[in-house]
Structure 1
Amino acid sequence: MDAHHASLGRRTLEEIRQKRAAERISKVSSGSDLTKASIPSDIPVIRKSESGNRLSEADVSGLVSQLKDLQQKNAELEDNNKILSLKLQGKEAEFETLQSRFNELEQNTVPSLRKALKDVAMEKDAAVVAREDLSAQLRMLKKRLKEAEEEQYRAEEDAASLRAELNSMQQQAMNSAFGGINSMGSSPDQVQALEKELARLKSELQQESLLRQQERRQLAEEQARVSSLTSEKQELEERLTSISQRGSEVVSEKASRKEFSVEDKEKLEKQLHDLAVAVERLESSRQKLLMEIDNQSSEIERLFEENSNLSSSYQEAMNTATRWENQVKDCLKQNEELRRVLDNLRTEQASLLSTNGSLMLHKGGAIETGSQANTTEILSLKGQLVQEQSRADSLSAEVLQLSARLQQATQAYNSLARIYKPVLRNIESSLIKMKQDGSVTVQ
């Protein structure tokens, strides 16, 4: 019986040693996390009985209870090992997802950001080109206004010369009746020249009005282009805000990922720094472009207001001119009626003179033939005098009509001079200021 108990005790001791060796091997293979789970020190030590190598029944029962405790602890350790392995698998899966997300960002987001930056740069270049076109058009408009001022000055000089010539003609016509008749021998040519000059002046006025209409259309087109530039500016601002938001998102995502390598972090930080520098550069260029667009829009608005004032004053001048034309036409009609009445009276007077002369010839039959010839010559001269007087009256009426037209043209030119001189003076002062400041702002 004692031998049986001794063999049973030895067998249990060997099993305990084997289990402890297996536990040590499993601890070594499970990693650094499993090394923390140490075997508790509350396992009871096997106590031998006083009889030496023999074991009593109490020792055997104690060994059995210790064996059960060890089995329970082993099961608990296995459960802990399973939990830790599950946690490790979860961490590995999370790391893989983060790695895939990082690769996706590198493959998709960064190229899209670079493409967006390139698009913004191209749009900025297009806006700069459009701004240069606008400045060139403004310079052309100023040049045309200067040419119009020079043409106006030339027209004023021509009108002054014509006015002086008309005054001299009127003075020559009013000196004496016969002197007026003799001086009118060359008046039709002068009248034709005056009519040609007036036609030329009218054509120049029409050309000036066409130029003003073209300038209005160009101003409207420039305003449309400015509005399109403002819309493009808003789009650029929106794209810049979206780029900055994307950059902040990328920065936050990179800050949340702590398991990336140092090289990847440095590379991404460098890319973000480059993006931030590019965004700041684009922002500064955008601000400059906005300032230039605001300046040009204010200049265009000022020119548009001046042009509207010019058109209103021109319309008023045209209304006054039409009123004067109507009055002159009425006066000319009255003059024609009076001239017709005067011609009738003169013809009646000539007929009366001829009848009186014939009666005198019949009564004084003994009058000599020389006196008859003198009377007939006097009568013919009186008839010619009546005709020449009627012709002189018609020519004087034409001269008055031409002088009225010339006065109308001079009034139109004076009104245009009053309107355009301050505008051209402002343009000249602005050009001088631009020359003093240096080169033109559009470069």
Structure 2
Amino acid sequence: MPPTTVTKLSFVTGTNLPSGAGTGNVALGGSANQSSTDERAPAERAIDGNSDNDFRHGSCARTRKSKDPWWRVDLNKSYNVSDVRITNRADCCSDQLQGAEIHIGDSLENNGNSNRLCGTVDSVALTTLTFNCDGLVGRYVNIFLPGQDKILTLCEVEIFAFSHPTGNVALGGSANQSTTDERAPAERAIDGNSDNDFRHGSCARTRKSKDPWWRVDLNKSYNVSDVRITNRADCCSDQLQGAEIHIGDSLENNGNSNRLCGTVDSVALTTLTFNCDGLGGRYVNIFLPGQDKILTLCEVEIFATKLPSIHVPFQQGTTAPSGPETNTPVTILSKKGTKLTPISGKKIPSGKETTPQSAEGTMTQSGKGTKIVNIPGTNMPPTTVTKLSFVTGTNLPSGAGTATSNPALYQTSENPNKQLIVYY
């Protein structure tokens, strides 16, 4: 593949994008707070853009000696956090940071210290400590130091993150549930109101039954990054224990057999957030297995990205385009048609060209990659694609789109050493 210039790159959950994509240090635009303040070292100093690690130079934040001190930055909106970089004090006392925890999330319950854990400081041998957070989603990043008589000092906290994909796509969906308490229809869980007191009339609830479920139809497939559930808080919060979140495109078993995103294994918090790693699907189900169960949901928020599209100009004799390595459904669009040619080492018949109008096909997920299926007007058989090389001249999920002509290379799982060539 020859060198190429990329003019735009957007992060897509689940894709194999070039490293280094994303935003800079988003902490610089945030606001900081801490549990207590040494008068010479306010919280804002840890996000002033100055990594000077000598406390005496006046660029570090510090709490007073206390029990369980913490520091927090509000990023003003939710991000997918890839890395947190902490600059420790170096002129003395670096061991004071030992055991500090990095938490990320959207909740201010327990001052944000109960949000999901990114990492723990288990060594202070280096002054600059970097923690990979694997895209944890949150507006708040906390540094929490558990213990008695602790002092938390931070000379700089840098947060590298990607903008959260979209807003709450559940708001535009339609809800259903296995049975309905007459006072609590399914739609109340997607009304945009997170009031967790059932008596205020904004929660959905089923009747007592075996294996109750709730489902939202998003009207089209999305890559789901996170599902946030607001549980009932005025009573009975333990009823949600064991509930499962399923995501997919099938309505088999009412959608409860779609892939599992996560399970409610604790109801200690009222707001529960589940990272779904870009699972693709139109339907999001909350399924509560067991006898004599009541499923109550005060709000279900779904954060997701639209499925990527590939727009491909037709060329006689070229192969039909396949999907990128997202492990999620992808739509194929072609204004003039598509054609599949035989692959060396595998007997795949050529596909019929489509009519001069547009042909839409979809990619479905498989254990080894993605499959081309259902292209109207063609006899194109399914084929599995496991790898996509970075390509210019295409509108791929990565956002690349220069006006040059280079081949896109696709590998099939059946023939890992053979490639499908698509010229643009």
- Classify the TM-score, shorter chain: under 0.3
Q: Give TM-score scaled by structure 1 length.
A: 0.14
Based on CA coordinates, which of the two structures has the bigger radius of gyration? 1
Ranked by relative contact order (alpha carbons within 8 Å, sequence separation 6 or more), the top structure is: 1
TM-score (norm 2): 0.15
Larger helix share, 1 or 2: 1
- Could you say which structure has the higher strand fraction? 2
